[in-house]
Amino acid sequence: MDAKFYQFWEDFFKHAVGGQVAPDVLTGWSRLGGSAMPDELMAMFKKYYGLDQMSAEAPDYSILFESALKEFNQSLTNLYAILDVVPKQDYVDLEKKCKALERKVADLEGVIMQLKLLFKTNPPNIGEGIGSLNQMLKSQNEQFLKMMDNLAGFYGISKDTDTDKK
């Protein structure tokens, strides 16, 4: 975290204690996820990041402002990590994902229950499946034997002469 970030928050809390900044300014801003900084905070932000010295119409102003805002937000994210706190917007996003996944799991559990019920009421006929597999294997075996007989005839080998030698 950069020193400007610490100076910003030090100044904010001094103003809050002195009554110059209302405490609900911070809570309202944090509820928005750190976007749309209130005017009271924006003045302090510009002061510590050196933007109050520049005109808003300056050509480099928007680039410097975006860079400072990015640096500030990175420091804020680091502070959240140190404090082991999750930003509200991140929490809301994860909550939406969680609810979507819960709905998906519930749908899949419903499909599983339907398939289990279907399996219980109409068990598969295993004998029919094995019978067709046996028939296919028998057919392939017969075709293989015919092919071997044809090859033996092509090369002039007969079954009788081969068994006599043994």
pLDDT digits (tens, 9 = 90+) for 120-162: 888 777 777 788 889 999 999 999 999 999 988 888 887 765 4
Are both 113 and 41 inside the same structural domain?
Answer: no
Q: Is the dihedral of CA 10, 12, 14, 17 positive or negative?
A: negative
CB-CB contact of 87 with 31 (8 Å): no
Structure token digits, residue 25: 């300014």
Are both 165 and 137 inside the same structural domain?
Answer: yes
Domain that holds residue 158: 128-166
- CA-based max dimension of the chain: 117
pTM of the model: 0.51
Strands (E), the chain: none
Are both 77 and 97 inside the same structural domain?
Answer: no
The pLDDT value given to residue 107: 97
Cβ-proximal residues to 75 (8 Å cutoff; 6+ apart), any chain: 1, 2, 5
Domain count, the chain: 3
Residue 166 has pLDDT above 80, yes or no: no
Are both 35 and 107 inside the same structural domain?
Answer: no
Are both 41 and 107 inside the same structural domain?
Answer: no
Are both 17 and 47 inside the same structural domain?
Answer: yes
Q: Give residue-wise pLDDT tens across range 78-109.
A: 888 888 888 778 889 999 999 999 999 999 99
**3-state SS class at 23:** helix
